[in-house]
Structure 1
């Protein structure tokens, strides 16, 4: 059984810290790449390399926008207990622990594995509105909701 006593405020803060850490790392790489692209000589010899750097900057910018959107979404995530699965719920099943918040994926908190999933994910959609004791099947995996916080 995966149930335990979990503090949703601390869990939410942990996710916010994870997102902030990812943003800081991404800012470092973005600034490094921007600085490096400015140092390239403007000759035909470096055109393909300059194009690759621009493509990398574009990808880093898109990832940064995604992380900033996650930060904004986390502001809407409630930390109060819920009687049914919704945004902000911590759902403990017989297989895993799901925090309905943002699409961050697997993370560890106090050496315990959790999955931060968005409310639009198939897992959250199938659990939405369900209560403790209810069961569901997704991808041929049967799960029972043991606890909702």
Structure 2
């Protein structure tokens, strides 16, 4: 991996913006689905279709709750530099870049691949308390921590 300096505050803002964008998109789909449900005729012929729409709204509401919880959890993510892997750390290994924050998964920032992982994830748990130079193995994959920001 090439040596690049990342700014954690910018990365944190980027992740927050991604979550906000997902919330906005989900809000649009939910409103659209609600509007569609109002337009369906109230006859027995359309009962199963209305049930499917209600099920979809239920799933959208669950996703929205998860995203809002993620947004709230991002407020707890520390933005200051860290020397050991913990919540808020950007851990760069010889294989990948992990931002210990929320469970957002893979994303691209400044052209590089990152993984936003929650502090409860197995990867974050095995890295917790480690510092640059430490090594670990997860799922038979050996990694060495090159840098922690």
Q: TM-score, normalised by structure 2?
A: 0.98
In structure 1, distance between residues paired with 2:56 and 2:2: 41
Quote the Cα distance in structure 2 between the aligned partners of 1:91 and 1:47.
52
1:80 — aligned with what?
A: 80
Q: Indicate the residue corresponding to 2:17 in structure 1.
A: 17
Paired with 1:135 and 1:3, the residues of 2 have a C-alpha distance of: 19
Q: Does 1:8 align with 2:32?
A: no
Alignment of 1:89-104 (within 5 A): 89-104=89-104
Aligned length: 149
Question: Unaligned stretches of 5+ in structure 2?
Answer: none
Q: Residues 101 and 130 of structure 1: is their aligned pair in 2 closer, same or farther, counting only changes over 3 Å?
A: same
Q: CA RMSD for the aligned pairs?
A: 0.7
- Residue pairs, 1:31-110, within 5 angstroms: 31-110=31-110
1:130 paired to 2:130: yes
What 5-or-longer segments of structure 1 have no aligned partner? none
Structure 1: 4+ residue segments shifted above 3 A: none
Using the size of structure 1 for normalisation, the TM-score is: 0.98
Aligned equivalents of 2:3, 2:36: Cα separation in 1:
49
